[in-house]
Amino acid sequence: MSGAQPTVGRVTELVRATSNYLRDRPRLRLFVLLALPVTFLVAIFVIPLLIMGWYSFLSDMPPASLTLDNYAQALSTDLYLGIIWRTTVITIQTTVIVTILGYSMAYSLVRFSKKATLLLVLVILPFWTNYIIRMYAWMNILQSGGVLDTLLMWTTITSEPLGLLYTQTAVLIGFIYIWLPLATLPFYASLTNMDPNLIDAAKDLGAGPIKTFLTVTLPTTMNGIVVGIILVAIPTFGSFITPALLGGTDNVMIGMTIEDQFVSTFNWPFGAALAVIVSLFVVTAMLIALLLGTDLFKQQGVDQ
């Protein structure tokens, strides 16, 4: 103990000296704080993205000449345009359904439920289990003669197995299942933050529950809705696990095509170009959503 004391004293002294030294040198202080995280992010995140951008203009694996062919191929071939279109459609379908279901649930939890926190944990918990495992579970449920078919035929709702696996419906169910818990969180947060007196005020002024919802609740929680939509739409657009496991070869989405370029076709420059296109798509969609969201929020007052 007695031996440790001077060491501790010396360390404290050193810390104090360093603090005093850095206090007068803000740039150095910032450097000490940020050198590690900035270096790390630049090296492992920013530079890879830049390299990807560079790859997307290459005619072949490096060393190779620069070209726009990859983009031309992606944006003029019916195959790829079709895939981008299908991806967009599925993304929109997923987002709309998840928003409606998630918002209804969040609304019900906030307004009607006494055990909202417990129920919210029940909703979130499945989200913490593994993505692939959850998709695998749906493979079991949706496959021909699987859990769903057995159940439907046992209850004599259908007489033939539906065999939903490897259809677009299956992909949609998979996405809804994955994103519903995540989207519920911002909906729940914005509804909790909303003053419940506003709802009473609207009813007091003669608006029924539906009108109250459309003219008061919806506009005042628009921010949460936009966040939820972004949280669902972005990962859906870039997803490849769900369509690969549940959609099979007939329901290819853009994420699967990118993966294909790196894992089996080995056309890295073309894959990079597709990845750049996906990124641009996502960033643009997000900016539009944000603008639209704030705009909606502001313009509600004009007239309903």
Partner 1 sequence: MSDRDGGHTDGGVAKQRETGSRSGGFGGLAGRLFRTVGTQVELFVHNYGRYLGKTIVGAIILFLWAPIFVLSFMSFSQREVLSFPPESLTVDWYISFINNPQALEALTTTIQVAVIATPLGIFLSLLIAYSVSRYDFRGRFLLQAVATLPLIIPLIVVGVAMTMFFGFVGIQSGFWPVVFAHTVQIVPFGTLIILATLISFDTTLEEASMDLGANEFETFRQVTLPAILPSIIAATLLGFVISFNEFIYTYFVKDARTNTLPTYIWDRLQHTATPEVNVISVVFLLVAIMMVVVAVAITTVERVAIRQ
Partner 2 sequence: MSIVTVENLVKEFGELVAVDDASFEIEDGEFVSVLGPSGSGKSTILRMIAGFEEPTGGTIVLNGESVVGVPPFHRDVNMVFQNLALFPHLTVADNIAYGLKQSGVPKAERTERIEEMLSVVDLRGYGDRKPEQLSGGEQQRVALARAIVNEPEIVLFDEPLASLDRKLRQHMQVELQRIQAETGITFMYVTHDQEVAVAVSDRMILLNDGRIEQIGTPEELYDDPVSKFVADFIGDVNTFSGTVRNVVDDTATIELLGATVETTIRASQAPMITEGETVAVCIRPSQLSVANGVESGETVEIAGTVENRIYQGDGVTFMIQTDEGRLTVEDEAPYDIGDEVTVTGSWTEAYAFPGGD
User: 224: which 2 tokens?
Assistant: 């949460």
Residues 272-301 that bind partner 2 (CB under 8 A): 297-298, 300-301
Question: CA-CA distance, 18 to 25, in Å (whole number)?
Answer: 11
Residues 231, 183 contacting (CB under 8 angstroms): yes
**From candidates 59, 77, 108, 299, binder to partner 1 by CB under 8 A:** 108
- Give, as ranges, the residues between 48 and 107 that touch partner 1 (CB under 8 A): 48-49, 51-52, 55, 62, 101, 104-105, 107
Instruction: Give the x-and-dash track for 178-217 against partner 2 (CB under 8 A).
Output: -----------------x-xx-xxxxxxxxx--xx--xx-
Looking up tokens 């103990």, which residue turns up?
1
How far apart CA 202 and CA 154 sit, in angstroms, is 48
Pick the binder of partner 1 from 242, 258, 270, 293 (CB under 8 A). 258
For 242, the token pair is 């769900």
Q: Shortest distance, CB of residue 184 to partner 2, whole angstroms?
A: 23
Instruction: List the Cα angle 289/293/298 in 5-degree steps.
Output: 150
Q: Which stretch binds partner 1 (CB under 8 A): 64-72, 123-131, 185-193, 292-300?
A: 123-131
Of the candidate residues 3, 6, 37, 63, the single one contacting partner 1 (CB under 8 A) = 37
> Which tokens belong to 196?
């419940």
Phi, psi of 239 (to 5 degrees): -70, 145
The Cα–Cα gap between 29 and 21 comes to 9
User: Closer to partner 1 at the Cβ: 288 or 298?
Assistant: 288
- Report d(CA 223, CA 229) in Å as an integer: 10
State which amino acid sits at residue 12. Answer: T
21 part of the interface to partner 1, by CB under 8 A: no
- Residues in contact with partner 1, total (CB under 8 A)? 89
Q: How far is the CB of 128 from partner 1 (least distance, A)?
A: 4
26 binds partner 1 (CB under 8 A): yes
**What are the residues binding partner 2 (CB under 8 A)?**
195, 197-198, 200-208, 211-212, 215-216, 219-220, 297-298, 300-301, 303-304
